[in-house]
Structure 1
Amino acid sequence: MESSWCKVLLYLTLITNLTLQGVRGWTGEIHGRVVCDVCADSSVGPEDHVLQGAEVAVLCITKTGEVLNYQAFTDSKGIYRVAETMPASDRWDACLARPISSFHEHCTRLGDSNSGVKFSYNHPSGYSHTVRPFVYRPTNVPTYCI
C-alpha cells in the first residue's frame, strides 16, 4: 500500500511541476504619447495639446520569431498602450511603433521625423518601454504662431 501512495504522490508532484512551469508568464507593455505641435515649431509650448483618439500601430517580433501586430488609440491624455502576457520563452524581442492617423480635424499632418520607432525590447517581466512622442501638425499654422 505504501508503494501505491508513493506512486500517487510522485504523479501529483510531476503534474504540479508541469502546471507551474506553464504558468510562468512574461508581461510587457509599450506606451507613448501623441501630440499636436500647433505652431509646427518642434518645441512644446502652451499652444500645443495632446491628441485623443490618434491611432498607433505596434509590430513586435517574439524570441521565437512570431510576428504580433497591435493597434492602439490614444486616451484623453494622448497616451496609447499595448500590453501582452505570454510564456517567457515567447516574449517580445524587437518592436516597431508607428503613427497611423490623427482624427483631430485641425492636426492631421504627420511631423517630418515620425515615420516610426524601432527598438529592442530587453525588459524583464512587468516592465514597460516608453516610445518618444509622435507629433502631428496642422495643415495651416495659426497666424499667432508666425
Structure 2
Amino acid sequence: MEAQKKLVMGLFLFVVFVSESGVRAWTGEIHGRVVCDVCGDSSIGPEDHVLEGAEVAVLCITKSGEVLNYQAFTNAKGVYTVAETMPESDRWDACLARPISSFHEHCTHLGDGSSGIKFNYNNPSGYSHTVKTFIYRPASMPTYCI
C-alpha cells in the first residue's frame, strides 16, 4: 500500500512539473485479464476462474523511439493494469502484452493464442486499451470436464 502511495505521489508531482514547464502531458493505460480455463474448452464458463497474482509483461515503444518495459500482476479479479504519464511527444506508439507466469499451482499451462498480443496505441490522453484475456489451463483436466 505504501508503494502505491509513493507511485501516485510521484505521478502527481510529474504531472505538476510537466504542466508548469509548458510540456503537454499525456496519460495512457493498458489492462487485461488472466483466467484459468479449467476444462480447456477455450470458452469462459462457470467452472473457470480468474488468476490472482499472474504476471504479465507489457513492452511499449514510444513515438520518440524509447522502449519501455512494464511488469504487472493480476489482482483478486484477475485484472492487471499498466499506466503511464509522460510528455505528449513521448507517448506510446505500439505495445506488446504477453503473459509471463501463473502462480496458481493447478493452472500453469499457457492456452493456445495466449503467447502475446501486439497492438498500436492510438488512444488520446486519459483513455485505456483493453487487451484480450490471457488463458492458462491445468496440466490435467478434472474428470467432470470429460
TM-score tier by shorter-chain length is 0.7 to 0.9
| Alpha-carbon RMSD | 1.1
Q: Distance in 1 between matches of 2:102 and 2:139?
A: 12
**Which entry has the higher C-alpha Rg, 1 or 2?**
1
Q: Distance in 1 between matches of 2:88 and 2:98?
A: 25
Alignment gaps of 5+ in structure 2 = 1-18
Q: Distance in 2 between matches of 1:135 and 1:92?
A: 25
Residue 50 (1) aligns with residue 50 (2): yes
Matches within 5 A, 1:10-21: 19-21=20-22
2:34 corresponds in structure 1 to 34
Local SS of the residue matching 1:89 = helix
AA paired with 1:70?
Y
Deviations 1:110-133 (A, max 9, x none): 001111000000000000000000
1:5 corresponds in structure 2 to none
- State the identity as a percent: 79
1:13 corresponds in structure 2 to none
Deviations 1:82-136 (A, max 9, x none): 0000000000000000000000000000001111000000000000000000000
1:101 corresponds in structure 2 to 101
Q: Distance in 2 between matches of 1:19 and 1:59?
A: 29
TM-score (norm 1): 0.86
> How many equivalent pairs are there?
128
Q: Distance in 1 between matches of 2:53 and 2:75?
A: 6
Q: Distance in 2 between matches of 1:19 and 1:31?
A: 29
Alignment gaps of 5+ in structure 1 = 1-17
> Any runs of at least 4 consecutive aligned residues in structure 1 with deviations exceeding 3 A, and if so which?
none
TM-score (norm 2): 0.86
Report the Cα offset of residue 20 of structure 1. Answer: 4.8
Matches within 5 A, 1:1-146: 19-22=20-23, 24-146=24-146
Report the Cα offset of residue 19 of structure 1. Answer: 3.7
